Structure 1
């Protein structure tokens, strides 16, 4: 069976590509105030970036040990009421460059684990135990939508990631969304961050991590 471009499997190299694009988009704001809200989120930009770091670390950790149906018991705590509950944080004294370095490191861990795992490997996620491709797709969703949140909050130019990565991520994780709309606006809509013609904005959303 011949796959369409949108059906091509996602892998660690795609996570690396997505990470590099996101960091490049955020670096111009290294001297900005990261205590402002991240787009429409309740978290500020620093907290949102740390949440992204924690997500990538969590995905790498789960996939590394393949614990099916059970989360890893990392100790997750908020720094303040309403802040993300993280196991991993960046030292604020290191500034934004340090924060981006921690993000790059967490993504690197995810890439390294995904690159050596068998396609038959399975690991826990609340939206369905998933395989290495699924965790790669989840990582790309987190990178893309939170970079959207951050660039919006920091007043940077509008962020638009590559259509091919968006389309492949939608195919892997969001089989329930429209297939005839532009990939990036569709991914924003699917994650409750935008509208599509004829479709109301989503108040609740999820993806489906189980292998297709």
Structure 2
């Protein structure tokens, strides 16, 4: 299975649709399971998505592009969410336009456009859920997107979890929860490079 720019847009849209009704609330409450509050988790998510777009655009071989995207400290939760949505669109555009042969550095391997789309999906889905849970909301992303992300980014684990609902499986794989007979994962690593290439 591969992950597409459409999947990334769907993942980000599912986050935005879930969180938008709560933008009138206090986002300085802790995000679930993180040291950040919900506001800063949203800022981090937008920065991740934009950083991945920059990696695909500049294609450094051994480091991140030297920049940091932050939200104005006075930004409202709605404006933080706007940053997430816009950053997701920038990354989706880069995934669509970068040639499949492009490789760019990430600590987990030299990613191709599909790998960066998958990483963006993982960041959006998991941090979107972290924020949602911190705000007392239920996040239910599309299972078909979760299945493709799990298969592309965590191929070895995906085979082991073939009979498990893909959203709880993705949450388990990234250390967010336990599954029956499977304790919470302490450390995890995704596969950024194409599946037929090493890390």
User: Is the TM-score greater than 0.5?
Assistant: yes
Tell me, in whole angstroms, the C-alpha distance in 1 between the residues paired with 2:99 and 2:4. Answer: 12
Matched, 1:44 2:37: yes
Tell me, in whole angstroms, the C-alpha distance in 1 between the residues paired with 2:84 and 2:139. Answer: 18
Matched, 1:103 2:113: no
Identify the residue that residue 150 of structure 2 maps to in structure 1: 170
Give unpaired runs (5+ residues) of structure 2: none
Q: TM-score by structure 2 length? A: 0.93
Identify the residue that residue 150 of structure 1 maps to in structure 2: 131
RMSD: 1.1
Identify the residue that residue 83 of structure 1 maps to in structure 2: none
List aligned pairs for 1:185-204, cutoff 5 A. Answer: 185-204=168-187
Tell me, in whole angstroms, the C-alpha distance in 2 between the residues paired with 1:63 and 1:92. Answer: 28
Q: CA deviation at 1:15?
A: 1.1
Identify the residue that residue 88 of structure 1 maps to in structure 2: 69
Give unpaired runs (5+ residues) of structure 1: 1-6, 75-86
List aligned pairs for 1:53-68, cutoff 5 A. Answer: 53-68=46-61
Tell me, in whole angstroms, the C-alpha distance in 2 between the residues paired with 1:22 and 1:148. Answer: 8
Q: TM-score by structure 1 length? A: 0.87
Q: CA deviation at 1:68?
A: 2.1
For the Cα contact (< 8 Å) 1:12–1:114, is it kept in 2?
yes
Identify the residue that residue 207 of structure 1 maps to in structure 2: 190
2:93 to 112, 117, 133: 112
